[in-house]
Chains A and B, each alone.
Chain A
Amino acid sequence: MSQHTLIAMLQDRPGVLHRTVTLLRRRGFNITSLAVGRSEVPGISRMTLVVDASDATQVVSQLDRLVEVIGVTDVTTEDAVQRETALAKIVASPSRLAQLVDIVVERGARVLHVGEDEMIVEITDTPERVEHFIAFIRPEGLAELMRTGRLAMMRGRTPTRLEAPAHYRDQADGAPHEEVAA
């Protein structure tokens, strides 16, 4: 078993997430994280999926078989930017909180809220650095953690298999693709 990061492009239809998750469960692939949202083109979603699987080719071809999956690529070994965001609530004494505000900012986090004895910080970084940051704040009184799951995007021009289909792009007013092409 090893971890694979996949990017998929999907039609934004009811049930598409259900189909994806059902397929992965049924075929015995463990989902580590899943992030999905609208893409630059209306009607199309992008998904970043992190799965444990001995054979990522099977995951890719099984996902590709879903009618609403337009394209899917394993970017684990590709040149891709990977990011994750976490929100963390730290509960500590007011004096320690005051110190922590500076410390977490030094470590690349943003302070979103400071209360009397708790604060909420945000970290957006590579998955590894997010892990390190969480490990650092855990002993400081980590009370609540919320993570987005991994987001990935390949460097360079978008490969054809991860492009929105033409008739969807045409409907999109001023889509970034058209600007790049021009």
Chain B
Amino acid sequence: MRTGAQIMCEALIREGVSVMFGIPGGCIMPFYHAMYEYRSSLRHVLCRHEQGAGHAAEGYARATGQVGVCIGTSGPGATNLVTPIADAWMDGTPLVAITGQVPSTLLGTDAFQETDITGITVPITKHNFLVSDPRELTRVFREAFHIARTGRPGPVLIDITKDAQLARLVPDWDVAMDLPGYHPASRKSAVLPTAIAEAVRLLQEAERPLILAGNGVIQGAATNELRALAEQTGIPVVTTLQGLGAMPHDHPLALGMPGMHGWVHVNKAIQLCDVLLNVGSRFDDRVTGKASSFAPHAKVIHIDIDAAEIGKLVHTDVAIVSDCKPVLEAIASAMPAGSAATRHAWRDSIAAMRDEHLPRQGYTRRERTAPLMPHDVFDAMNAAFRHRTDWRVVTDVGQHQMWAAQLLDWSRPRTHITSGGAGTMGFSLPAAMGAAIADPERTIWVVVGDGGFQMTACELATIAQEGLTNVKVAVINNGYLGMVRQWQQLFEGRRYSGTPLTGPDFAKLADAHGIRGMTVERADDAPAAIAAAWAHNGCVVIDFRVEREANVFPMVPAGRAIGEMMVAE
């Protein structure tokens, strides 16, 4: 005999879970009670806010590719998880959220701390479950993890009534999953040889082909296959924000990031290309700009594991619904060898655009209007990162996120973790905590604005309590909600409405948590600060007080075609 709560713990262990992030409360107490006896195999990290627990689970998942697990109680505990669940939904992050629910006899009565969390999360989960019958627990946990980790990964919520956790029963571990409608590589998706042949024909006939690589390449562990196809065919590769790291930044065929803050030559190449091979990117509007004028001359080949992404935003000529790895291999084996030698003119013209535009763009101009510019920090990080592989970077949302995407030397998959689709400020610190716990051998650098940092800075206490030493925080502190301020400057006549921001002394805030704090105000001090942070056997917060009104360029104004770029004020 087991209690429902014990069955939950054993189900988690059977699914390979070893770390969970959460906060207890009334309706999830039986689960915590049981967890205590499984603590040698199930580590629980007590976070300071359920949002932090959710992002920590996301960071864990993004670093490892494994399902992240977060826990909250009913009511506010559950609703605080809504933001990370939505974030995981947008970025395809495998997440299982476990919430307590009021006893089944009280369901629907507006009981204390009762919230319809399954109803609330319907549009932001792949699936969710309300379990009031403890006999369903074994099946539901199997199904939840299966759904979270297969297909386009994503969040699944399991809401469990308190009485189901307390019930005593003999678990049936052999129960089969019952998911007749779930086809992670949907039945339409069987990779049709005709589709591969058509893709190959288009690519062979193309004069100006381009590959657009997204998160699917990283999630599908297909970076080697991507690079092999590019090298074999000589087709240049553009990487989206979530695809950064899919191609080494210094590879001759790696062009960089497209879209709203992409490089001019990348966006121009997209607008000129005649065949666009999209590998695992969902044509987000931050990539396409005005979708109707995106890649106007291109035949589009779209490889996506999710059939619903095909044709959602951009007309697709060849649709291939599949995990991208086997498709990249199939295309490569069908492409004639030696085609890399062709299309010199196309690559040369992109190189010419790059040489023309790159030196004039935004921070590549290296203008200096303050003793410490944001790019000074990124230069120092690149210098420190260059000869090491034991790092990941987690960024937040805003100007610093775009600067990091543009300026850091991304070379390997899963080294860049950010909130892309949802754009969740406050994501980075808790997500880094999850990544740090997943991988104690690596240093997790947080790049965060002063606005986003203050949203979840309470997790510094969690980091301190857990005794983590491998989280290093670089606050790009400009005293504004900088991205909004930039829009106000450029499009609203400098009416800085609701954007000036005063924070605490971040070094002292760190100090109050027993974490080392530093303040850097001059460019010359940035490299030493980063070196010292790295050498310090403990977490560090560095407050980089940068130029207050630096802007992210290039920039495509909202709703415009991506060819229409602003490169300066």
Residues of chain A whose beta carbon lies under 8 Å from any beta carbon of chain B: 10-11, 14-15, 18-19, 22-23, 26, 55, 57-58, 61-62, 64-71, 161, 165, 167-168
Q: Which residues of A contact B123 (CB under 8 A)?
A: 22-23, 26
Complex Cα spacing A57 to B321, Å: 14
Determine whether B306 belongs to the interface, using a CB cutoff of 8 Å to chain A: yes
Q: For A72, give the chain B residue with the smallest CB separation.
A: B181
Q: Which residues of B contact A68 (CB under 8 A)?
A: 127, 181
Q: For B127, give the chain A residue with the smallest CB separation.
A: A67
Instruction: Check A15 against B122 for contact (C-beta < 8 Å).
Output: yes
If A15-B122, A23-B123 touch, whether A70 touches B308 (CB-CB below 8 Å) is no
Distance of B387 from chain A, by nearest CB (Å):
44
Q: Which residues of B contact A14 (CB under 8 A)?
A: 130
Instruction: Check A58 against B181 for contact (C-beta < 8 Å).
Output: no
Q: Mark B156-199, 1 if CB is under 8 A from A, else 0.
A: 00000000000000000000001111110011000000000000
Give the number of residues in B that approach A within 8 Å (Cβ atoms): 22
Instruction: Check B308 against A69 for contact (C-beta < 8 Å).
Output: no
Instruction: Check B308 against A64 for contact (C-beta < 8 Å).
Output: yes
Q: Mark B303-331, 1 if CB is under 8 A from A, else 0.
A: 00011101110000000000000000000
Instruction: Check A11 against B122 for contact (C-beta < 8 Å).
Output: no
Distance of B285 from chain A, by nearest CB (Å):
15
If A67-B126, A71-B181 touch, whether A58 touches B118 (CB-CB below 8 Å) is no
If A67-B147, A67-B181, A67-B182 touch, whether A61 touches B126 (CB-CB below 8 Å) is no
A-B contact pairs, 21 of them (CB 8 A): A10-B181, A11-B178, A11-B180, A18-B122, A22-B123, A26-B123, A55-B311, A61-B308, A62-B308, A64-B307, A64-B308, A66-B127, A66-B181, A67-B147, A67-B179, A68-B127, A70-B180, A70-B181, A161-B187, A165-B180, A167-B180
Determine whether B338 belongs to the interface, using a CB cutoff of 8 Å to chain A: no
If A14-B130, A22-B122 touch, whether A65 touches B308 (CB-CB below 8 Å) is yes
Q: Which residues of B contact A26 (CB under 8 A)?
A: 123
Determine whether B493 belongs to the interface, using a CB cutoff of 8 Å to chain A: no
Q: Which residues of A contact B127 (CB under 8 A)?
A: 66-68
Partner of B186, one of A62, A64, A70: A64
Complex Cα spacing A19 to B122, Å: 6
Determine whether B119 belongs to the interface, using a CB cutoff of 8 Å to chain A: yes
Complex Cα spacing A62 to B126, Å: 11
Distance of B291 from chain A, by nearest CB (Å):
13
If A58-B311, A58-B312, A71-B181 touch, whether A65 touches B119 (CB-CB below 8 Å) is no
If A23-B123, A26-B123, A67-B127 touch, whether A168 touches B308 (CB-CB below 8 Å) is no
Among all A-B residue pairs, the 5 with the closest Cβ atoms = A165-B180, A70-B181, A61-B308, A67-B127, A67-B182
Complex Cα spacing A19 to B124, Å: 11
Q: For B119, give the chain A residue with the smallest CB separation.
A: A18
Distance of A6 from chain B, by nearest CB (Å):
15
Q: Which of B26-56 contact A (CB under 8 A)?
A: none
If A15-B118, A22-B123, A65-B306 touch, whether A57 touches B181 (CB-CB below 8 Å) is no
Complex Cα spacing A168 to B182, Å: 15
Q: Which of B70-126 contact A (CB under 8 A)?
A: 118-119, 122-123, 126
Instruction: Check A61 against B122 for contact (C-beta < 8 Å).
Output: no
Complex Cα spacing A32 to B463, Å: 53
Instruction: Check A58 against B308 for contact (C-beta < 8 Å).
Output: yes
Distance of A101 from chain B, by nearest CB (Å):
46
If A19-B122, A67-B126 touch, whether A11 touches B308 (CB-CB below 8 Å) is no
Distance of B85 from chain A, by nearest CB (Å):
15
Q: Which residues of B contact A165 (CB under 8 A)?
A: 180
Which of A19, A62, A168 has the most chain B CB within a 10 Å cutoff? Answer: A19
Instruction: Check B118 against A69 for contact (C-beta < 8 Å).
Output: no
Complex Cα spacing A165 to B119, Å: 27
Complex Cα spacing A26 to B181, Å: 21
Complex Cα spacing A2 to B186, Å: 26
Which of A19, A61, A70, A71 has the most chain B CB within a 10 Å cutoff? Answer: A61
Further contacts, 16 of them, CB under 8 A, given A67-B181, A68-B181: A10-B181, A11-B178, A18-B119, A23-B123, A55-B311, A61-B308, A64-B307, A65-B307, A67-B126, A67-B127, A67-B147, A67-B179, A67-B182, A70-B180, A167-B180, A168-B180
Q: For B118, give the chain A residue with the smallest CB separation.
A: A15
Distance of A22 from chain B, by nearest CB (Å):
5
Q: For A62, give the chain B residue with the smallest CB separation.
A: B308
Which of B126, B180, B310 has the most chain A CB within a 10 Å cutoff? Answer: B180
Complex Cα spacing A76 to B119, Å: 31
Distance of A74 from chain B, by nearest CB (Å):
13
Distance of A56 from chain B, by nearest CB (Å):
11
Q: Mark B284-313, 1 if CB is under 8 A from A, else 0.
A: 000000000000000000000011101110
Q: For A65, give the chain B residue with the smallest CB separation.
A: B308
Complex Cα spacing A149 to B244, Å: 49
Q: For A15, give the chain B residue with the smallest CB separation.
A: B118
Distance of B97 from chain A, by nearest CB (Å):
16
Distance of A69 from chain B, by nearest CB (Å):
5
Q: Which residues of B contact A67 (CB under 8 A)?
A: 126-127, 147, 179, 181-182
Complex Cα spacing A176 to B32, Å: 49
Q: Which residues of A contact B126 (CB under 8 A)?
A: 67
Complex Cα spacing A65 to B308, Å: 7
Complex Cα spacing A153 to B186, Å: 24
Q: Mark B438-472, 1 if CB is under 8 A from A, else 0.
A: 00000000000000000000000000000000000
Q: For A9, give the chain B residue with the smallest CB separation.
A: B181
Complex Cα spacing A66 to B187, Å: 14
Instruction: Check B307 against A61 for contact (C-beta < 8 Å).
Output: yes
Q: For A168, give the chain B residue with the smallest CB separation.
A: B180
Q: Which residues of A contact B181 (CB under 8 A)?
A: 10-11, 66-71
Q: For B309, give the chain A residue with the smallest CB separation.
A: A61
Q: Which residues of B contact A70 (CB under 8 A)?
A: 180-181
Q: Which residues of A contact B306 (CB under 8 A)?
A: 65
Complex Cα spacing A168 to B178, Å: 10
Q: For B310, give the chain A residue with the smallest CB separation.
A: A61
Q: Which residues of B contact A167 (CB under 8 A)?
A: 178, 180
Distance of A29 from chain B, by nearest CB (Å):
13
Q: Which residues of B contact A65 (CB under 8 A)?
A: 306-308
Distance of A79 from chain B, by nearest CB (Å):
21
Distance of B462 from chain A, by nearest CB (Å):
33
Which of A65, A68, A69 has the most chain B CB within a 10 Å cutoff? Answer: A65
Q: Which residues of A contact B178 (CB under 8 A)?
A: 11, 167
Q: Which residues of A contact B311 (CB under 8 A)?
A: 55, 57-58
Distance of B545 from chain A, by nearest CB (Å):
42
Which of B119, B181, B183, B308 has the most chain A CB within a 10 Å cutoff? Answer: B181
Distance of B186 from chain A, by nearest CB (Å):
7
Q: Which residues of B contact A161 (CB under 8 A)?
A: 187
Q: Which residues of B contact A23 (CB under 8 A)?
A: 123
